[in-house]
């Protein structure tokens, strides 16, 4: 009996993921009598299918320099030992934290990652609504140094896939908080905060499996009873057209780049935080919070 191929494993995972999202929709809409965004779910599936175009981009581009770094690696890990896999898990989790944080704080990377945050309803189908240009959005460079530490590039990608697979189940609004696990591992509650567009929740909870690095670097925010998450972009998109969802962030970036009048402005629009403007008055998270704080102060006077 032959072992299953990676393609066969991928197909099984895809069927389980889509089937689970479909089951969730049926249960929530027919049994729980909740409003379920079927059109948004269909758009997520269409985007997931379209994302396969990225498979034609070589791994060498996805993990730039990884092969060279592995040839000059600092350590030789015996991947037949559990300790080596534990080391890879924590190293990848650290890299994922910074990869994910950059995906929110660097506009070029956000242009691709924004697709994942576009659903205005939080459900399992949102887990596979992913941008089509991840391999050229530069964020995967955060994983290349793992090869220098002695982990084979192919295994880095496998570990990343497992990390992302874990995150499928946390895209659920109906799963309650998980007690003492909150703040330790990534839970549906922590990820609801991450997907929320509320000012109180923006730019938080970047971890993949763990919340350790969010706590270490000050980006962990627990879900609050008095602040219900509002999902989608700060300026929401209401279209279910897959192409509009995927290309709107890139078109917005291109529009800003065409009006740049200096190298500084080009770099600011491309690599500054989303919402950056040359006059410093854009819709960055910091500016939005500062304006909200100023309004609260005015009301209190």
pLDDT tens-digit readout, 67-97: 899 999 999 999 999 999 999 999 999 999 9
Percent of the chain clearing pLDDT 70 (strictly above): 94
The answer to whether residue 59 scores a pLDDT higher than 90 is no
The answer to whether residue 54 scores a pLDDT higher than 70 is no
DSSP string, 226-252: T----BS-SS------HHHHHHHHHHH
pLDDT in tens, 3-19: 566 567 778 888 999 99
pLDDT in tens, 107-120: 999 999 999 999 99
- Report the candidate in 192, 194, 216 with the shortest Cα–Cα distance to residue 203: 194
Q: What are phi and psi of 104, to 5 degrees?
A: -100, -25
In the block, residue with structure tokens 């910091």: 286
Measured CA distances, 182 to 1, 63, 72, 228 (Å): 43, 32, 39, 17
Confidence of residue 52 (pLDDT cuts 50, 70, 90): confident
Burial class, 153, CB count within 10 angstroms (exposed 0-12 / middle 13-18 / buried 19+): buried
pLDDT the model gives residue 37? 95
DSSP 8-state symbol, 209: S
pTM of the model: 0.93
In the block, residue with structure tokens 């997907």: 195
pLDDT the model gives residue 14? 87
Distance CA 287, CA 107 (A): 16
pLDDT the model gives residue 65? 83
pLDDT the model gives residue 298? 84
The answer to whether residue 244 scores a pLDDT higher than 50 is yes
């Amino acid at each position: 009996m032959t072992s299953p191929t990676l393609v066969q494993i991928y197909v099984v995972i895809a069927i389980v993921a889509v089937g689970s999202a479909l089951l969730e929709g049926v249960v929530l809409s027919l049994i729980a009598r909740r409003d379920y965004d079927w059109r948004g779910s269909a758009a997520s599936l269409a985007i997931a299918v379209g994302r396969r175009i990225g498979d034609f981009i070589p791994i060498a581009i996805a993990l730039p320099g990884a092969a060279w770094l592995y040839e000059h690696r600092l350590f030789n890990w015996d991947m037949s030992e559990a300790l080596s896999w534990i080391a890879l898990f924590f190293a990848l989790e650290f890299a994922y934290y910074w990869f994910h944080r950059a995906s929110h704080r660097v506009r070029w990377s956000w242009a691709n990652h924004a697709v994942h945050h576009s659903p205005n309803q939080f459900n399992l189908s949102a887990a596979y609504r992913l941008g089509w240009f991840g391999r050229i959005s530069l964020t995967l460079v955060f994983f290349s140094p793992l090869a220098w530490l002695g982990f084979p590039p192919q295994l880095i990608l496998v570990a990343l896939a497992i990390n992302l697979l874990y995150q499928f189940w946390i895209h659920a609004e109906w799963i309650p908080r998980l007690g003492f696990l909150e703040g330790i591992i990534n839970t549906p509650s922590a990820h609801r905060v991450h997907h929320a567009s509320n000012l109180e929740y923006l730019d938080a909870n970047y971890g993949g499996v763990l919340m350790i690095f969010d706590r270490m670097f000050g980006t962990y925010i627990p879900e609050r009873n008095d602040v219900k998450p509002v999902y989608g972009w700060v300026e929401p998109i209401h279209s279910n057209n897959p192409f509009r969802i995927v290309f709107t962030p890139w078109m917005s970036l291109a529009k800003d780049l065409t009006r740049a009048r200096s190298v500084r402005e080009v770099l600011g629009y491309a690599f500054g935080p989303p919402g950056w403007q040359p006059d410093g008055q854009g819709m960055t998270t910091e500016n939005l919070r500062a304006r909200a704080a100023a309004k609260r102060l005015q009301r209190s006077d």
